[in-house]
Structure 1
Amino acid sequence: MALSFPNIDPVIVSFGPFNLFGQTFEPALRWYGFTYLVGFVAAMWLLNLQADRSKGVWSREQVSDLLFYGFLGVILGGRVGYVLFYHFDYFLASPMYLFKISEGGMSFHGGLMGVIAAMIYIAWKQKRTFFAVADMVAPVVPIGLGAGRIGNFINGELWGRTTDVPWGMVFPTGGPDPRHPSQLYQFALEGVALFLLLYWFSKRTDKVGAVSGMFLVGYGIFRIMVETVRQPDAQLGLYWGLMTMGQILSIPMVLIGLYLIFRKQGKQQ
């Protein structure tokens, strides 16, 4: 017994085809991109709401700058991280692979580093401390993460390992055996549970960096948990026969996050 994959068309609507300079284009609105757009709009709404309640500490214009550079950080960092962490051999063979966006591939951990770079720039530009920016951003990040996992599920990608649990699902590209719908696990943990955890925690602390630390701990633990049932990347497999690349990259997140939560630090001024 296994659940059948719903086979949702990943394309919501397509336009064209159009012929331009001898090339045929058929632009399309896809569910994957749409889910990220929904996550971005929801995060923008929440950040603007926080700005309105900040009594002048943040303005909507400053939030717009933060979102713009944060979005660039996600895209650029996510792509660079994917290539370096998961397909470094491709990059060594052909450095132009980095720019082959049409072949797909984004990494959360790379995107995180891109967002950190964006927050450093925003902190410098707006004359804030880094954690004043990071603690503002952290609670809304799970919205985008959860939306992205729904997009992964609709695309029928990043499925889990084979299983005999009653909710195992047969994915079109995963062979005939039922697999863990790990994308939905990640949506529930990295999206819903992490958002609720950060919302609850942010109301109970004013320690500088603590909310950012809880994000790192929560995401790291949830990612390590789900990776135990998620199919390892075919080109990498398991390191030492035990750990995936995602787990290896998440361990430092947990350690840094614990330090930020429990370090001795005065209250935020």
Structure 2
Amino acid sequence: MNDFLLWWQQLPSQMNPVLFSVGAFAIRWYGMMYIIAFGVVYLLSRYRIQNEKLPFERSYVGDALTWAMIGVVLGGRLGYILFYGMSSFLADPLGTLIPWISVPGGGCRFAGITGMSYHGGVIGVILALLAFTLSRKKAFFETFDLFIPAIPLGYTFGRLGNFINGELYGRVTDSALGMYFPLAPTYELRHPSQLYEAFFEGIVLFILLWLLRKKSPFPGFLSATYLFGYGFVRFFIEYVREPDSQLGFVFLNFSMGQVLCFVMMVAGVAVFLFNSSSAKSARS
């Protein structure tokens, strides 16, 4: 038992964030997890169209996800700058936006996109799918509901990527679940909050939405459930997640993540009330 506990506590330091490399070119687990996440959402959404007789062409999933991928990358990056990195942006706007750095002797190299905001990614996906549905003359919430049940399972892989990177670790704890994270400022046991999020925001929310997908009473119901459910679960997980060092607590004892999750829950309630009211009006 002691051997397993020691292995568990030291696990983050044993993981290599680089999957493989060829010369100076490296493929990282985090980027691969993004690809797997989109693959999972694509396959499950295609499965829904084929087996649940949804009013979409098979090619619709790939086209919509192409727009969503652009939205999640741009929204995630710009959201991070807006919510978490505004001071860095004001100090160096160009360097913050462009992922290239100069190297000694001239030239430059790709430094990677550092800093992504989940909430910014959600906003980016919403705007991208809104533009996509308008271009295809399709209903927005019917399209969003098509993908919603699969999104949490894809999100699970994103959090596993965070865990392998050793980032977004939790607060100091004396719990047996605690781990030592090499990137943390102190060598103390910390909550593996990435794994908590992968399980509760990913797997648990996926099971709930997958079971509800055929029982949706009106378009937008699954979207509202996801927005509120994710915001609710993460709001409480934030109590064991280390606040961003550059911000700390932004309102009373709440982190930026909790503030954004509260807004997300309010948005979920608003979507539910608006769409349920619209559905009742259409039936009357």
Same fold, TM exceeding 0.5?
yes
Identify which range, 211-220 or 119-128, moves more after superposition.
Answer: 119-128
Structure 1 moving runs of 4+ over 6 Å:
none
* From 195, 207, 210, the counterpart of 2:218: 207
Q: Does 2:22 match 1:15?
A: yes
Q: Which 5+ residue runs of structure 2 have no aligned equivalent?
A: 100-110
Report the CA distance between 1:204 and its aligned residue.
Answer: 2.1
Q: 1:103 & 1:58 partners in 2: Cα distance?
A: 34
Deviations along 1:4-34, one digit per CA (max 9) or x if unpaired, are: 2242111111012xxxxxxxxx111211111
For 1:239, give the aligned amino acid. V
Q: Which 5+ residue runs of structure 1 have no aligned equivalent?
A: 17-25
The question of whether the paired residues in 2 share the 8 Å contact of 1:5 and 1:172 is answered with no
The question of whether the paired residues in 2 share the 8 Å contact of 1:220 and 1:254 is answered with yes
Report the CA distance between 1:201 and its aligned residue.
Answer: 2.1
Report the CA distance between 1:103 and its aligned residue.
Answer: 5.4
**Number of equivalenced pairs:** 260
Aligned position for 1:21: none
For 2:29, give the aligned amino acid. W
Q: Does 2:105 match 1:113?
A: no
Q: 2:144 & 2:16 partners in 1: Cα distance?
A: 37
Task: Trace 1:173-188 onto structure 2 (pairs within 5 A).
Answer: 173-174=183-184, 175-188=186-199
For 1:49, give the aligned amino acid. Y
Aligned position for 1:235: 246
* From 4, 11, 19, the counterpart of 1:5: 11
Q: 1:55 & 1:197 partners in 2: Cα distance?
A: 21
Aligned position for 1:122: 132
Going from structure 1 to structure 2, the CA distance change for 1:56 and 1:206 (only over 3 Å counts) comes to: closer
Deviations along 1:76-110, one digit per CA (max 9) or x if unpaired, are: 11000001110101111222112236250100011
TM-score (norm 1): 0.91
The question of whether the paired residues in 1 share the 8 Å contact of 2:250 and 2:256 is answered with yes
Q: 2:235 & 2:222 partners in 1: Cα distance?
A: 20
* From 52, 59, 62, the counterpart of 1:61: 59
Q: 1:35 & 1:258 partners in 2: Cα distance?
A: 31
Q: 1:216 & 1:247 partners in 2: Cα distance?
A: 14
Report the CA distance between 1:254 and its aligned residue.
Answer: 0.6
The question of whether the paired residues in 1 share the 8 Å contact of 2:48 and 2:54 is answered with no
Report the CA distance between 1:252 and its aligned residue.
Answer: 1.5
The question of whether the paired residues in 1 share the 8 Å contact of 2:171 and 2:191 is answered with yes
Q: 1:54 & 1:169 partners in 2: Cα distance?
A: 43
The question of whether the paired residues in 2 share the 8 Å contact of 1:52 and 1:58 is answered with no
For 2:202, give the aligned amino acid. G
Deviations along 1:235-266, one digit per CA (max 9) or x if unpaired, are: 00012340000111111111121233344342
Deviations along 1:102-161, one digit per CA (max 9) or x if unpaired, are: 250100011001100111012112211111111112111112211010001011111000
Give the match's secondary structure for 2:19.
Answer: strand
TM-score (norm 2): 0.86
For 2:17, give the aligned amino acid. P
Q: 1:93 & 1:4 partners in 2: Cα distance?
A: 37
Percent identity, aligned pairs only, is: 40
Q: 1:255 & 1:203 partners in 2: Cα distance?
A: 24
Going from structure 1 to structure 2, the CA distance change for 1:177 and 1:85 (only over 3 Å counts) comes to: same
Q: 1:202 & 1:41 partners in 2: Cα distance?
A: 19
Aligned position for 2:103: none
Q: 2:155 & 2:59 partners in 1: Cα distance?
A: 24
For 1:218, give the aligned amino acid. G
For 2:93, give the aligned amino acid. P
Report the CA distance between 1:43 and its aligned residue.
Answer: 1.0
Give the match's secondary structure for 1:186.
Answer: helix
For 1:246, give the aligned amino acid. G
